[in-house]
Each structure stands twice: as structure tokens, then as C-alpha cells.
Chain A
């Protein structure tokens, strides 16, 4: 399956270079950055929703599997946020003549990236994994509304929209050039596919990490001594184990 993805990704990238130039841009040949920029922004927005959704479920069920998914969503969202910013800055330089110009959409996306950054920072601030999970989940839920405002509302406010270089009707109004539409859809589809695979791998790694931590904890409890590695963690011994000592 991964070979199909590799071939598809290569074909989509090739297509992005083969579609005819869009003459409306100052440097039409370099406007193809859009094929990667726009899907990245969309995928980043999806991870904002996912992060809030997984946060909600963690707070509701206290099941740590949601924390693994929440952490993966925050990391992947931040990654795509950085990718969106990088391609946007490059586009800004080649088409508008400056790396950074405080365009409202650029700025609002920078703030979304800052929210993802705060989400990552919060995970490093708590040593207890349960507490870290609930606090991160609560922050993901709390940051959903400001993030949605920054992405969907703020750039469309009338006095803000006038100042922005970003066209707001091109995609939603169906004004995208036919070949460009094919290019965006192709690259977007392949990028989404790649994202699903990487995301699932990240979740699997997170689950394995969690299982390993639990295993270390159980070794400490059963043996009554230290694990092979130095593990500094509070140990809770269940009622059954306390009553019936087991051998390792």
C-alpha cells in the first residue's frame, strides 16, 4: 500500500509542475507553491478539530488512549502549521515581494501556530502523566473556539478582508482555474493519505510508549525493587498484588 502512496505522491508532485501557468500571478511558474500550501492549511485545521475532539473524550472517559491521539494531533497540527507558514512565506516573497507583511491571514495563522506551541509546552510542564493528559485535553478544548475564530472568522471580517492579499472567494466561490483545481485536489488527496499513515504510526508509537511505561511500573510493583533502568515514578499496587506476592 505504501508503494501506491509513493507512486501517487510522485505523480501528484509531477502534475503540480506540469499544469499550465496561471497568468494572474506576478510569477506564474512559482505560484505552484499553492498546491502544497492550501492543503497543508486545511489539514492543519482538521487537526485543530481532532485535538479538541480527543480532548473532550479524554475528559469524559479518562481513557489514556485519547491522550495519545490528542498528543499526536497537536504534533501533526503544529507540523502542518509550520509547513503552511513556510510555503506561505515563500509565496509571499516571490509573488508579493516581501517575506512577511503582516497580512491578516498570515498573522492569524501564526497565532494558531502559537496555540499549538502552547499545547506542546503544556505537555512538558507536568511530570505526572494523568495530570498532563487532563490539562492538555482541557487546553485543547479551550483553544478550539479561538482557533476557529482565527482561521475562519477573523480573516473574513469586512475591515480585515479589505486589507488582506489572500483571496477569500477564489476557492469557495469556485473561481479556481480548472487545471489548478485538478492540481490542488491531487496533491491534497495524496498529502491527506500520507498524513493518515504518519498519524496512525505516531499513535501506535504513543500507545507503545504508554504500554512500556505501564510495564515498567508493574515490574517495580511486582518485584518490590527497582526496574532495570532508573525509573522515578509513583507506584500504585493493586489490592490483588498486595495480597498475593508474585515472582518475576
Chain B
């Protein structure tokens, strides 16, 4: 547990020095909301459309920002050092927890901006928050795993995105189902079912990720 916390703090301090990840994800969210507001100017998009836009923005924000925590170690040549001083599992979990934190910040900023700028009207607030947390958890888990797999590859940034997107689209589909229920379209029971599915995906990624990362990193 101490090792996980150390890796998390390392990522946090690194981020506080450069602010690259949060800045990129925040700016991307703002631009996405402005683009959505432009695209729907003078119109009132339905809850399903807005839910889809929110999920797609979250998807691309995660794919752009999250693999960085793993790939930057490879580029800086610090990955071997990290593996020397720590077991693979705590490294993976610490970085994934940091990614989850970053994703939650991005998600809540995006959700608030969408309410303010794009006229998003939330009818079931608890479901909206729950869906946001579950979606961020599922995205952070899967993208972290793909980032961990892409270490050492040629064109690793592109590869991380290529690997992530097909794995994330089921989660986007469930996210749309959950958000549209929170925005007043569809049933609350259906929305809750989707949230449970997202949580299941998130837990599976968090459970499977450290095992796979350990087995892959051990071979080098």
C-alpha cells in the first residue's frame, strides 16, 4: 500500500511541476464544449445526443491524456529505474489511481461546463454523478492498461490510442445509456443497470491490469 501511495505521489508531484496532463485535458474539455455549443447553436439537442457528446469527449480526453503516465517513463528512460525499485503491481495501481483522479477532475469540469454552456439539464442528479464516476473509473482502468502495454513499442502514442478505442467503445455505449437516463430520457432502472455495467468494467480493468502489467513487464 505504501508503494502505491509513493507512486501516486510521484505522479502528482510530476504533474504539479509541469501541469501538462490536467492542462491538456482541461483545454480539450473546454474546446469540446465550445464546439458542441457551436454545433448546436439555436437548437436544443436531445438528452441522448448530449449524453453521446459527453461520453465521446470523455473518451478522447482519456485517450489523449492518460497513457502519458506510462509512456513518458519510457521516453525519459526512467521506466527501468522504476521497475528496479518497485514491483510492477504497485506501479500499475499507483499510476492508474492517479489517472483516475485526473479523469475525475476532467469529467467533473466537463460536466459542469456542459451544464453552463450547452444547456444540459440534469433531471436525476445522483445518477448523473454516479454515471460520471463509473465512466471515469472504467475509462481510466482500460486506458491505463493499454498505456502499460504500449511501452517500448514503435509509435507508442498512436498504438496506445489504437488499442484503447475499441476496448472503450462498449463503455461509451453503457455511459450513454446511463447519462441519457440521468438527463430524463430512458428509465432510471436502465440507467442504474448501465452504471453497474460500467462499475463492473472498471473493477475488471483494475483487477486484471496489475496482473497483466506484471506478467508483461517481467519478461524484459
Q: Tell whether, in the assembled complex, residue A142 and residue B166 are in contact, meaning their CB atoms are under 8 Å apart.
A: no
**Does A194 touch B at the CB level, under 8 Å?**
no
Which residue from A62, A111, A122, A149 sits with its C-beta under 8 Å from B163?
A122
**Number of interchain pairs (Cβ within 8 Å):** 78
Q: Tell whether, in the assembled complex, residue B219 and residue A114 are in contact, meaning their CB atoms are under 8 Å apart.
A: no
Q: Tell whether, in the assembled complex, residue B159 and residue A125 are in contact, meaning their CB atoms are under 8 Å apart.
A: yes
CB contact list, A88-127 vs B, under 8 A: 111, 114-115, 117-118, 121-122, 125-127
Stretch at the interface among B23-31, B114-122, B150-158: B150-158
**Does B64 touch A at the CB level, under 8 Å?**
no
Contact with B along A150-166 (1 / 0, CB 8 A): 10001001110000000
User: Shortest beta-carbon distance, A140 to chain B, in Å?
Assistant: 10
**Does B7 touch A at the CB level, under 8 Å?**
no
**Does B170 touch A at the CB level, under 8 Å?**
yes
Q: Tell whether, in the assembled complex, residue B149 and residue A122 are in contact, meaning their CB atoms are under 8 Å apart.
A: yes
Q: Tell whether, in the assembled complex, residue A131 and residue B167 are in contact, meaning their CB atoms are under 8 Å apart.
A: no
Q: How large is the interface on A (under 10, 10 to 19, 20 to 34, 35 or more residues)?
A: 20 to 34
The dominant DSSP class at the A interface is: helix
In Å, the complex CA distance between A154 and B146 comes to 22
User: Shortest beta-carbon distance, B60 to chain A, in Å?
Assistant: 16
Q: How large is the interface on B (under 10, 10 to 19, 20 to 34, 35 or more residues)?
A: 20 to 34
A138 to chain B: closest residue by CB: B212
Residues of B within 8 A of A121 (CB): 159, 162-163
In Å, the complex CA distance between A139 and B208 comes to 11
- Given A115-B166, A125-B154, A135-B149: A158 touches B212 (CB 8 Å cut-off): no
**Does A223 touch B at the CB level, under 8 Å?**
no
**Does B173 touch A at the CB level, under 8 Å?**
yes
In Å, the complex CA distance between A143 and B171 comes to 13
User: Shortest beta-carbon distance, A118 to chain B, in Å?
Assistant: 5
B residues bordering A, Cβ < 8 Å? 142, 145-146, 149-150, 152-156, 159, 162-163, 165-167, 169-171, 173, 177, 186, 190, 201, 204, 208, 212, 215-216, 219-220
Q: Can you list 9 residue pairs at the A/B interface with Cβ under 8 Å? A: A122-B149, A125-B150, A125-B159, A138-B149, A138-B212, A142-B167, A142-B208, A142-B212, A146-B201
A residues bordering B, Cβ < 8 Å? 59, 62, 111, 114-115, 117-118, 121-122, 125-127, 130-131, 134-135, 138-139, 141-143, 145-146, 149-150, 154, 157-159
